[in-house]
Chains A and B, each alone.
Chain A
């Protein structure tokens, strides 16, 4: 059935639902079942319908019925909230606001409804986590660029965030619904937890105002929404007022993606909105006494500035323009991943396409000079930026090439239906004959590789479908899957595929005798899986640290178990041989074996290899703001070799990231004693190096920790 037919039927269903209140609930439930339809048009239709349904007046759907429908809608909305279509996503947010309010109150009034409560929290977490991201679009590596895009979705999500803050925190008046209405002994809605979550969300909102550039629609929208919080949530004034007081547009930086004219208008617009908000706060008498003088001064400054601006045309060049500072550019002027014109010039162009420099004919320059220029440039370029540049060019190339690859048409083999065969088969049938399946054909090594590659591709495809199913997996009668569900996968989650691939790489393809031909082949196959996991991590390093931690821990654990077993077997063989030769000299064989195994340092070369790859890939791309994820990686990796620790040295030597480097070394020395000697080695190298500032810092730490 094609989309237009479905949509026609859906339109009829909507007419029926809104003209007959008796069938309305059934129609809504049917629509809720449709939101998983793979068609974007159908999902869009469903999201619009649900928005109309939950906005319907009491005369058409009674409050009680609407609450029931809201409870049923929770899982459907979670699906819609993950659809990568802007219209669907925006409608999902609007419906979620209504459904959140209805279901939150339902749980508040029906203590013990833990199933509904977990649905409410799932939906809330799903949406809140997307605030200040690029969803439903892909993030780029350029945070400044991303912060100025997808403002539509961000403005919508801000509504949801404010709704959550409003419901999950106390209000000064009882006029509106708030946490104050809820029994403090409620077993599911814990006041302290709700309040702290709400406070964290307020911090997230205020971050927009503290950004170094101005994203005018988002900043003004945040200011306007704060009008709600300042009147209802006095407990947050100590957070909000200092931020408003320190919001100074003259200190903001001009974005690389806006003109000077736009920036000057931005500052004017934000100042005016801030002035209206502060005036509103004064008029409503919500400014705490200790802030009143500061707010008055701020209002005077903003008013005077506004009066001054009114007298002139701010777009004209002015002496004050020289005071405007621009934000440092992180990205590329032309980061499009689609090739509009298929030629080498457009493939490699990362500057402004209109730049006249792009027309310079490099072939007129001698080969020697070109080589020298290229080598000099490669030496100077930041390797992280170079990697991103190559990634863009690669994507352009793949996008251009994919349309050229022909698809082989499958050949249809027609076979004539020969009636004589049936007769012949009937005559030769012997009921006494025992039939057996032919033995499976042995796969060549290449065929094995192809199959492993197919398995990997299927797992990644599974990950990308994003279809969560929270139900406990039904254990099969046989023991294999029972063991797996018991230990590793209690319920299938979107990231459960990582576990399966990890186990495949570390245990499924392991061979005891790694020196044999089979062992070498299996090793190569399992490395295919590892390579796929590693490449997946490389695609989004910051977002996939958890994945790589899980994988490397499993890698280390499996290798430890296997190698320890191998060592134990060797030691056991040695001691039993000794016992046979001189039984009187060996009193307790098992004890001797255990003691010797325990004294061993079990090697993990494979874990070391891949752990090193991960750090080598990650360290060049770390930013000073990545402290948390890097320290988490360092703390969660099961072991750190001296080579791994040594990689931190390059962080210390980078002026922009030296703090992160030294902080990491301190962290390891304090919390991971086994890594301390390697850290001290790095510090000694830095202390003996030729960079004065590094020597000083390294010496200080050596004095403290050596």
Chain B
């Protein structure tokens, strides 16, 4: 992947369904992508609505997969798609990751959340990060602009796939603007012409995308960290 490629991450609550489906689809489309969850722990459906399976972030998908297979409700998990979801996830990456602990992943150009509460959580967390760096770290730090877009996706298998397609479409539209500017420089020899700037067009892109995906409401903010 070239140095100036778009760095994208997807975020949902547990880093198991919506964010992983879009992680997989973006990865298959060739993008540099990571994914995270904003919950305090990983919650998966259990035998009944009030008895979820709970795991720590960082627990490998393989481990969760084996744990669910070893439970007596295995057939229910297979029937509701949980097993196949985890099987997909373990082939994408090792374990679910918590958004709030992702400093080691570096900084992203684009953060796509899948639920309004996750959007709020990410935006607020970036506010905290701007405020809470140690003095030494802050002296060496230059804040980076990050675009945070929320795409509201219902948390079930079918809607995660539909949402994933929408997210891939959006990221491609954004990436195309960056490609347009590179191409313009080649064609016009970097003349003193006004460039095609992503930031100037982000609202046009979102409007166009929203018009095509009215079932997936959006939120957007520009922030730093």
| Chain B min CB distance to A231 (Å) | 5
Q: Is the CB of A220 within 8 A of B140?
A: no
The answer to whether the Cβ of B48 comes within 8 Å of any Cβ in the partner chain is: no
The answer to whether the Cβ of A137 comes within 8 Å of any Cβ in the partner chain is: yes
Stretch at the interface among B49-57, B157-165, B167-175, B209-217: B209-217
| Chain B min CB distance to A188 (Å) | 20
| Chain B min CB distance to A284 (Å) | 8
The answer to whether the Cβ of A568 comes within 8 Å of any Cβ in the partner chain is: no
Instruction: Mark A310-354 against chain B: 1 for CB-CB distance below 8 A, else 0.
Output: 100101000000000000000000000010000000000000000
Q: What are the residues of chain A within 8 A of B190 when measuring CB–CB?
A: 40
Q: Is the CB of A269 within 8 A of B120?
A: no
Instruction: Mark B188-220 against chain A: 1 for CB-CB distance below 8 A, else 0.
Output: 001011110111101110110011001001111
Q: What are the residues of chain B within 8 A of A231 when measuring CB–CB?
A: 131
Closest chain A residue, CB of each to CB of B119:
A272
Residues of B in contact (CB 8 Å), total 43
Q: What are the residues of chain A within 8 A of B147 when measuring CB–CB?
A: 217
Q: Is the CB of A152 within 8 A of B220?
A: no
Q: Is the CB of A258 within 8 A of B203?
A: yes
Q: What are the residues of chain B within 8 A of A105 when measuring CB–CB?
A: 139
Q: Is the CB of B140 within 8 A of A55?
A: yes
Q: What are the residues of chain B within 8 A of A225 when measuring CB–CB?
A: 130, 224
Q: What are the residues of chain A within 8 A of B211 when measuring CB–CB?
A: 261, 315
The answer to whether the Cβ of B145 comes within 8 Å of any Cβ in the partner chain is: yes
| Chain A min CB distance to B66 (Å) | 39
The answer to whether the Cβ of B222 comes within 8 Å of any Cβ in the partner chain is: yes
Choice from B145, B198, B220 contacting A216 with Cβ under 8 Å: B220
Instruction: Mark B134-149 against chain A: 1 for CB-CB distance below 8 A, else 0.
Output: 0100111011010100
Q: Is the CB of B221 within 8 A of A227?
A: no
Choice from A97, A101, A155 contacting B199 with Cβ under 8 Å: A155
Q: What are the residues of chain A within 8 A of B194 when measuring CB–CB?
A: 137, 149
Q: Is the CB of A152 within 8 A of B124?
A: no
Given the known interface contacts A151-B197, A159-B143, A315-B211, the answer about A221 and B135 at a Cβ–Cβ threshold of 8 Å is: no
| Chain B min CB distance to A668 (Å) | 42
Q: Is the CB of B203 within 8 A of A216?
A: yes
Given the known interface contacts A98-B140, A175-B135, the answer about A150 and B197 at a Cβ–Cβ threshold of 8 Å is: yes
In the assembled complex, the Cα of A338 lies from the Cα of B194 at a distance in Å of: 11
The answer to whether the Cβ of A265 comes within 8 Å of any Cβ in the partner chain is: yes
Choice from B195, B199, B207 contacting A217 with Cβ under 8 Å: B199
Given the known interface contacts A221-B145, A276-B124, the answer about A310 and B221 at a Cβ–Cβ threshold of 8 Å is: no
| A interface secondary structure, majority | helix
The answer to whether the Cβ of B123 comes within 8 Å of any Cβ in the partner chain is: yes
The answer to whether the Cβ of A27 comes within 8 Å of any Cβ in the partner chain is: no
Closest chain A residue, CB of each to CB of B220:
A269
Q: Is the CB of B222 within 8 A of A276?
A: no
Q: What are the residues of chain B within 8 A of A259 when measuring CB–CB?
A: 207
Closest chain B residue, CB of each to CB of A255:
B203
Q: Is the CB of A224 within 8 A of B193?
A: no
Choice from A152, A176, A265 contacting B198 with Cβ under 8 Å: A152
Within 8 A of B (CB), among A391-446: none
Q: Is the CB of B123 within 8 A of A273?
A: yes
The answer to whether the Cβ of B223 comes within 8 Å of any Cβ in the partner chain is: yes
The answer to whether the Cβ of B76 comes within 8 Å of any Cβ in the partner chain is: no
Instruction: Mark A167-182 against chain B: 1 for CB-CB distance below 8 A, else 0.
Output: 0000000011100000
Closest chain B residue, CB of each to CB of A57:
B140
Q: What are the residues of chain B within 8 A of A338 when measuring CB–CB?
A: 193
Q: Is the CB of B200 within 8 A of A149?
A: yes
Closest chain B residue, CB of each to CB of A259:
B207
Q: What are the residues of chain B within 8 A of A159 when measuring CB–CB?
A: 142-143, 224
Choice from B145, B207, B219 contacting A155 with Cβ under 8 Å: B145
The answer to whether the Cβ of B127 comes within 8 Å of any Cβ in the partner chain is: yes
Closest chain A residue, CB of each to CB of B218:
A265
Instruction: Mark A505-536 against chain B: 1 for CB-CB distance below 8 A, else 0.
Output: 00000000000000000000000000000000
Choice from A137, A265, A313 contacting B207 with Cβ under 8 Å: A265
Within 8 A of B (CB), among A188-222: 216-218, 220-221
Choice from B127, B139, B195, B220 contacting A227 with Cβ under 8 Å: B127
Choice from A218, A224, A262 contacting B204 with Cβ under 8 Å: A262
Instruction: Mark A102-121 against chain B: 1 for CB-CB distance below 8 A, else 0.
Output: 10010000000000000000
Given the known interface contacts A137-B194, A262-B204, the answer about A217 and B222 at a Cβ–Cβ threshold of 8 Å is: yes
In the assembled complex, the Cα of A40 lies from the Cα of B191 at a distance in Å of: 11
The answer to whether the Cβ of B44 comes within 8 Å of any Cβ in the partner chain is: no
The answer to whether the Cβ of A493 comes within 8 Å of any Cβ in the partner chain is: no
The answer to whether the Cβ of B92 comes within 8 Å of any Cβ in the partner chain is: no
Q: What are the residues of chain A within 8 A of B131 when measuring CB–CB?
A: 227-228, 231-232
In the assembled complex, the Cα of A176 lies from the Cα of B198 at a distance in Å of: 33
Choice from B127, B192, B204 contacting A280 with Cβ under 8 Å: B127
| Chain A min CB distance to B91 (Å) | 34
Closest chain A residue, CB of each to CB of B225:
A224
Q: Is the CB of B221 within 8 A of A272?
A: yes
Q: Is the CB of B203 within 8 A of A224?
A: no
Given the known interface contacts A225-B224, A232-B131, the answer about A265 and B124 at a Cβ–Cβ threshold of 8 Å is: no
| Chain A min CB distance to B192 (Å) | 7
Q: What are the residues of chain B within 8 A of A228 when measuring CB–CB?
A: 127, 130-131
In the assembled complex, the Cα of A40 lies from the Cα of B190 at a distance in Å of: 10
Q: Is the CB of B127 within 8 A of A277?
A: yes
Given the known interface contacts A94-B142, A177-B135, the answer about A221 and B223 at a Cβ–Cβ threshold of 8 Å is: yes
| Chain B min CB distance to A477 (Å) | 43
The answer to whether the Cβ of A637 comes within 8 Å of any Cβ in the partner chain is: no
Q: Is the CB of A102 within 8 A of B139?
A: yes
The answer to whether the Cβ of B85 comes within 8 Å of any Cβ in the partner chain is: no
The answer to whether the Cβ of B126 comes within 8 Å of any Cβ in the partner chain is: yes
Q: What are the residues of chain A within 8 A of B206 when measuring CB–CB?
A: 262, 265
Given the known interface contacts A102-B139, A232-B131, A266-B203, the answer about A280 and B222 at a Cβ–Cβ threshold of 8 Å is: no
Closest chain A residue, CB of each to CB of B131:
A231
Choice from A55, A102, A268, A269 contacting B142 with Cβ under 8 Å: A55
Given the known interface contacts A175-B135, A261-B211, A277-B127, the answer about A221 and B203 at a Cβ–Cβ threshold of 8 Å is: no
A residues touching B (Cβ–Cβ < 8 Å)? 40, 51, 55, 84, 86, 94, 97-98, 101-102, 105, 137, 148-152, 155-156, 159, 175-177, 216-218, 220-221, 223-225, 227-228, 231-232, 258-259, 261-262, 265-266, 268-269, 272-273, 276-277, 279-280, 306, 310, 313, 315, 338
Residue pairs across A and B with Cβ atoms less than 8 A apart, 14 shown, are: A94-B142, A148-B200, A149-B200, A152-B200, A216-B202, A217-B147, A220-B222, A221-B223, A221-B224, A223-B221, A265-B210, A269-B221, A280-B124, A280-B127
**Closest A-B pairs by Cβ, 3 of them:** A227-B127, A151-B199, A224-B223
B residues touching A (Cβ–Cβ < 8 Å)? 116, 119-120, 123-124, 126-127, 130-131, 135, 138-140, 142-143, 145, 147, 152, 190, 192-195, 197-200, 202-204, 206-207, 210-211, 214, 217-224
Known: A159-B224, A224-B223, A265-B220. 9 other contacts (CB 8 A): A98-B140, A177-B135, A177-B138, A220-B220, A220-B221, A227-B127, A258-B203, A269-B220, A272-B120
